[in-house]
Amino acid sequence: DQQVKQNSPSLSVQEGRISILNCDYTNSMFDYFLWYKKYPAEGPTFLISISSIKDKNEDGRFTVFLNKSAKHLSLHIVPSQPGDSAVYFCAASVRGGGADGLTFGKGTHLIIQP
Amino acid sequence: DADVTQTPRNRITKTGKRIMLECSQTKGHDRMYWYRQDPGLGLRLIYYSFDVKDINKGEISDGYSVSRQAQAKFSLSLESAIPNQTALYFCATSDLVRADTQYFGPGTRLTVL
């Protein structure tokens, strides 16, 4: 049973436009959410996170929105740049130290078109 | 120099062989993790360790064992490799305060023939 779902395997966006990546979760115990970015032949790198007590967190061009009632979060990238082309993983944990590690979605491959 | 290193980066082996993947970190973190990624799937947790004396099974620990030799070193062993253990393996670390934010190594691509 997949607890973190990223239903779009890939997404193509034109350079300069907004990229919106979506993530749904089923486990009500999750209360901390993260986005990781992964380039080929590299490990995932932390991008941005959000606690369940917030509904928005912004860091430069990246904003994460959380809708707890819908168990849905999204990552917005504005404006999209060629270097943003990568696989993006949504991850979740039960706060308190990520004691059981992180639960990851399958990832969305974002392709930024020139 | 990378904060989290993994050796080897690539390995091809045969069914039944014993394999050890190694992870070292210079971040000074207490917590270390091993994940596995299969094509089209997210990362799944194999084992994690909070310190040298604390080892815990993750979601998919069957067929694997680990050793935390020191705070900075965490190795993953496949006692008798099988083809469905062909995957990309990642080591990660985190500190106590921000344990949710994990720092990943570059990965080891393991192929079992």
Average pLDDT of span B68-73: 95
- Please say if the pLDDT value at position B95 is more than 60: yes
Whether B101 sits inside 8 A of A49 (CB atoms) is yes
- Please say if the pLDDT value at position B99 is more than 80: no
- Give chain B as a 3 state SS string: CCCEEEECCEEEECCCCCEEEEEEECCCCCEEEEEEECCCCCEEEEEEEEECCEEEECCCCCCCEEEEEECCEEEEEECCCCHHHCEEEEEEEECCCCCCCCEECCCEEEEEC
Residues 6+ apart with CB under 8 A from B7: B21, B22, B24, B108
Lookup: tokens for B109: 């691509």
The residue of chain B nearest to residue A90, with distances taken between CA atoms, is B42
Q: Nearest C-alpha of chain B: how many angstroms from A73? A: 17
Q: A12, A85 in Cβ contact below 8 A? A: no
Lookup: tokens for B103: 């720092």
pLDDT band at B2 (very low <50, low <70, confident <90, very high): low
Q: Give the CA-trace dihedral at B42, A43, A84, A94, to 10 degrees.
A: 50
Strand duo A10-14 + A108-113: pairing: parallel
Judged on CB neighbours under 10 Å (0-12, 13-18, 19+), B82 is exposed
Whether B45 sits inside 8 A of A101 (CB atoms) is yes
- Please say if the pLDDT value at position A53 is more than 60: yes
Q: Nearest C-alpha of chain A: how many angstroms from B61? A: 13
What mean pLDDT value characterizes chain B? 93
What's the pLDDT score for residue B98?
Answer: 72
- Please say if the pLDDT value at position A32 is more than 70: yes
The predicted-structure confidence for A60-89, as pLDDT tens digits, reads as follows 999 999 999 999 999 999 999 999 999 999
